[in-house]
Amino acid sequence: MPEVSIVMPAYNAEKYISEAIESVKSQDFADWELIIADDASTDGTLKIIEYYAKGDARIKYMSSAHNSGSARVPRLKAVSMAVSNWIFSLDADDFIASDYLTKMIRRAETTNSDILLSRMQLIDESKKNLMFCIPGSDYDMNQILTGHQALAKTIGKWEIGFNGLVKTNYYRRLPNDVHHEMNMDEVDSRKLLLMVEQVGFCEAVYYYRQHKDSITKKISMKLFDRMCTSFELLTLLSKAVPEDKETLIIQMRECWASVSNSLLLLFKYRSSFSADERLHVHWKIVMYYKECQSQERYLRMNAIKKIFLLKGYCGFFWVKFLCFNLRKLTHSIRY
């Protein structure tokens, strides 16, 4: 039985997946299995996977007949095939340093952690420009946190990332419900943190690539998934840490921002969507706006803002519409 199971969801990743797989094969720690879940790719991704699987018995794969629309679904399918005690999730357009697994396994053994998180170095498409790192360079990587303490460092902003080792038994306790939202993994990561007792850190480096082909950069209906996952996380926190009002206030601010930004995105990219799609998005915005109204106690707004933005959807809509057009006008005058 291998020491660690690396799970990799993949969809139309032919440009980067070879580098991701090679970064696993080049590890100075050899006791691993790589499970790749192809999510009905339409490019050459599956052929590349098959090539590597034929050349290395540690590489396994599955292929779906239909695209799920979310990395979460193929990731959990890959987890279901894992046979080791540790799960490490690697995206098909990212890669890891050659000593990553060695450092992580050693550190996991010495800290007795249930989850061990690494540094996440953001890079551009060419890999020439290193952007910011999570956690930051001044973060104490020797500390051990409880799951709740680690969770608090992911609300509002990601002070710590979620790239690293997770004990397999916790991953398998995640609900098997089918969520197709683009970033539902962000809810799963918080669920995992709430399950565990100890979260450790390691100086191993995970390289997270920013590129224009990412689904988060494309104009599609997926842009509006943020509303669903923001409120899903709020519900999770309300049940798990109801006494932590400050955390709930921070997350409610994220929920409000997701609704507000979704309406602005709908204004901006209106012509990119069909009439039915616009109607569907508008319905979702109205639904989550009403959720914001029901959670008004967690929204820190002055009285004037509340009158214009929270007393009725019509007022909220027209304020945002005017703001959007004023920005366009200001931009056109400036340039």
> Last residue of some domain: 193, 212, 231?
212
Report in angstroms the alpha-carbon separations of 304 from 253, 300, 309: 17, 12, 9
Q: Are residues 202 and 173 in the same domain?
A: yes
> Last residue of some domain: 160, 187, 212?
212
Which domain does 94 fall in, by range?
4-212
Q: Which residues pair with 122 in a beta bridge?
A: 208
Is residue 169 classed exposed, middle or buried when 0-12, 13-18 and 19+ CB atoms within 10 A define those classes?
exposed
Q: Are residues 153 and 245 in the same domain?
A: no
* DSSP assignments along 36-83, one per residue: EEE---SSSHHHHHHHHHHH-TTEEEEE-SS--SSSHHHHHHHHHH--
Q: Are residues 73 and 178 in the same domain?
A: yes
Instruction: Measure the CA–CA gap between 164 and 86, rounded to whole angstroms.
Output: 10
Domain count for the chain, please give it: 2
At 121, which helix (H) or strand (E)? Answer: strand 115-123
Q: Are residues 37 and 94 in the same domain?
A: yes
Count Cβ atoms below 10 Å from residue 276 Cβ, excluding itself: 8
Q: Are residues 201 and 223 in the same domain?
A: no
> Last residue of some domain: 177, 212, 247?
212
Q: Are residues 32 and 164 in the same domain?
A: yes
Q: For residue 133, what is the domain's CATH number?
A: 3.90.550.10
Q: Are residues 160 and 224 in the same domain?
A: no
Query: What does the pLDDT profile of the chain (335 residues) look like in tens digits?
Result: 899 999 999 999 999 999 999 999 999 999 999 999 999 999 999 999 999 999 999 999 999 999 988 889 999 999 999 999 999 999 999 999 999 999 999 999 999 999 999 999 998 887 766 778 999 989 999 999 999 999 999 998 899 999 999 999 999 999 877 666 778 889 999 999 999 999 999 999 999 998 666 655 678 888 899 999 999 999 999 999 899 999 999 999 999 999 999 999 999 999 999 999 999 999 999 999 999 999 888 888 888 888 878 888 998 999 999 988 887 767 566 55
Q: Are residues 67 and 172 in the same domain?
A: yes
At 101, which helix (H) or strand (E)? Answer: helix 100-111
CB 63 within 8 A of CB 38: yes
Q: Are residues 232 and 315 in the same domain?
A: yes
